[in-house]
Structure 1
Amino acid sequence: MRTEGTDTELGSIERELYIDAAPEVVYEVISDPEHVKEWWPDDAAYDVSPGATGTITFGDVADGGKVVTLTVIEAIPPRSFTFRWIHEAGEDAREGNSLLVTFELVPTGSGTTVRFKETGFREMGWEVAQLEETYFDHTSGWDYFLPKLVAYAPTAVARR
């Protein structure tokens, strides 16, 4: 995984990864909740269609875990998957109340280059301390979860 383009002003998190699997497989792994929960949250429930809203869950909710709202913005197999997240349940996801995550998939040899980007931190209107805490929490989170995506996606080929 290569880290590049991380905005020093806490505006975006960007990563470029190579996955040894076809774009069609990688698209399923980054968009389908059944696959997503294998490498990112503990649970995921949403439809993979633009405008669909659902949830992802980190940890055991009864033991302090967190349920987060997710809204699918764009789903273009096998090229890109974009969603907004962390907005309040019942609110429409938009700039200023949610973060935007984009996975762009580019065929590369026998695999796929994934261009990952999360933006919207500065637009949330948070105080500096919350902005910094959230930005660095998400940076370390993606640095943990994206390698799990790279490892999991090639195994999904056998599950198809």
Structure 2
Amino acid sequence: MEFGSIEREIFVEASPEVVFDVISRPEHVQEWWPDEAHYPAEPGGDGWVRFGDPETDGKRVRLTVADAVPHRLFSFRWTHEAGEVAAPDNSYLVVFELEPADGGTLLRMTETGFRERGWAEAKVAAEHADHTSGWDYFLARLPVYAAKVAS
């Protein structure tokens, strides 16, 4: 199996304008993905997302917006260490592409950066598996939330 990227495609019954807000604005993102999100939703915007309770087993990770083209594309790098600039060798790159389709939006998500970090094959496989199950869970929540926003 190749562990270089994760790719998903889902149909969302909402306009590209609504879907763009749902995947880019922190107040919407935290309704379907992390428990909390803080970042400016513009290229270069630096912030973080939090999963779970940091007092127990949760974690807060850095996020830097790479690109934001309203209603068409939103991308970010994440998991780089504090004090580091997000780069291919220290972070994952997530790209959301939006395309109008059948009265809604076709959303393509790609995450890369597993091999670029210089990890041993076992670590690459484990990280890829963790992110695959995470995206499968969280992306399933996105269309439900987007439909609520659209109504």
Answer whether TM exceeds 0.5 for this pair.
yes
The CA deviation at 1:52 is: 1.0
| Residue 89 (structure 1) aligned with residue 82 (structure 2) | yes
Matched residue, 1:4: none
Identity, in percent, stands at 56
Give the whole-Å Cα distance in 2 for the aligned partners of 1:91 and 1:157: 37
Matched residue, 1:5: none
Give the whole-Å Cα distance in 1 for the aligned partners of 2:121 and 2:50: 26
Alignment RMSD = 0.7
- Aligned AA (2:17): E
Match of 1:18, SS state, is: strand
Give the whole-Å Cα distance in 1 for the aligned partners of 2:92 and 2:138: 17
Query: Which runs of structure 2 are paired with 1:48-127 in the superposition (5 Å)?
Result: 48-127=41-120
Give the whole-Å Cα distance in 2 for the aligned partners of 1:156 and 1:90: 35
* Matched length: 151
Gaps of 5+ in 2: none
TM-score, L = length of structure 1: 0.93
Give the whole-Å Cα distance in 1 for the aligned partners of 2:114 and 2:26: 24
User: Cα deviation per residue 1:43-99 (whole Å; 9 max; x = unaligned)?
Assistant: 000000101110000001011210010000000101000000011011100111101
The CA deviation at 1:130 is: 1.2
Match of 1:146 among 126, 130, 139: 139
Give the whole-Å Cα distance in 2 for the aligned partners of 1:69 and 1:103: 18
Greater helix percent: which structure? Answer: 1
- Runs of 4+ with >4 A deviation: none
